Amino acid sequence: MSALLKTVEVGPESEARGAVIWLHGLGASGHDFEDIVPLLDQPEVRFVFPHAPQRPVTVNMGLVMPAWYDITSLGGALRDEDESGIRESARSIDRLIERETQRGIRPSKIVLAGFSQGGALALFVATRYAERLAGLMVLSAYEVLAGTRVAEQSAANQTTPLLLCHGSEDPVVPVMLGRLAFDAYAHPERPAEKHEYSMQHAVCPEEIETIRGWLAQRFLRG
């Protein structure tokens, strides 16, 4: 079994009443969204930002960088997907969820979030996780291994709330890929929100405000 991923943590060291596990994008690190935490007004929630493992990335000329899985073509294309890399990273995220339960936070108080490649992995993991999670937040991302969705979706997370945000001018992950991912997972039984912003492959102040309000609903006392 591989070692637990190294993480950056922000929030209460003990007695947290919830957790957000937030996955960064390609080539970034667990520090990428660290500065956003104070803007989200969740002082009793632990934010866990894991570092992706280092691996060669085909679209970047095989350079080794932090990546949840290899990417062989631009634009979030779904052909030639790195299934073994996706599933290996998914198991690593499962272990982080399990570590939070060992620290006293049950899955129903854990939100899984991610940006870009990290958002694609968060969507994959959360919708397949065996126990119900508090929510799923997908930022500027897309769906991976779409052909396995029907067979692998977890009954426990069929109704888990979904927040999907995307830039309408995103040149890296076209907004249509975000819309397709939303349509694949939004259904009448699942509380699902989709927000598009006039931005490229980034996060904007209006989006942060949307995230703040959405997380507040996930971590209501009770």
What pLDDT sits at residue 222?
A: 46
pLDDT < 50: residue spans in the chain: 76-77, 222
Instruction: Establish how many alpha carbons lie within 13 A of residue 130's alpha carbon, considering only the half-sphere containing its beta carbon.
Output: 4
- 170, 187, 195, 198: the active-site residue: 170
CA 52/CA 124 separation, integer angstroms: 16
Superfamily for the 7-218 domain: Alpha/Beta hydrolase fold, catalytic domain (3.40.50.1820)
What pLDDT sits at residue 14?
A: 72
3-state secondary structure the chain: CCCCCCEEEECCCCCCCEEEEEECCCCCCCCCCHHHHHHHCCCCEEEEEECCCEEEEHHHCCEEEECCCCCCCCCCCCCCCCHHHHHHHHHHHHHHHHHHHHCCCCHHHEEEEEECHHHHHHHHHHCCCCCCCCEEEEECCCCCCHHHHHHHCCHHHCCCCEEEEEECCCCCCCHHHHHHHHHHHCCCCCCEEEEEECCCCCCCHHHHHHHHHHHHHHCCCC
What pLDDT sits at residue 39?
A: 97
Note if 116 is an active site residue.
Answer: yes
Q: Give the residue from 69, 65, 38 showing the smallest Cα distance to 54.
A: 65
Tell me the per-residue pLDDT of 101-123, one tens digit each, with 9 for 90 and over.
999 999 999 999 999 999 999 99
What pLDDT sits at residue 25?
A: 97
- The domain locations on the chain are 7-218
CA 48/CA 145 separation, integer angstroms: 25
What pLDDT sits at residue 99?
A: 97
Note if 201 is an active site residue.
Answer: yes
What pLDDT sits at residue 93?
A: 98
- Cβ atoms of 105 and 16 closer than 8 Å: yes
- 89, 92, 116, 140: the active-site residue: 116
What pLDDT sits at residue 76?
A: 47
Note if 168 is an active site residue.
Answer: no
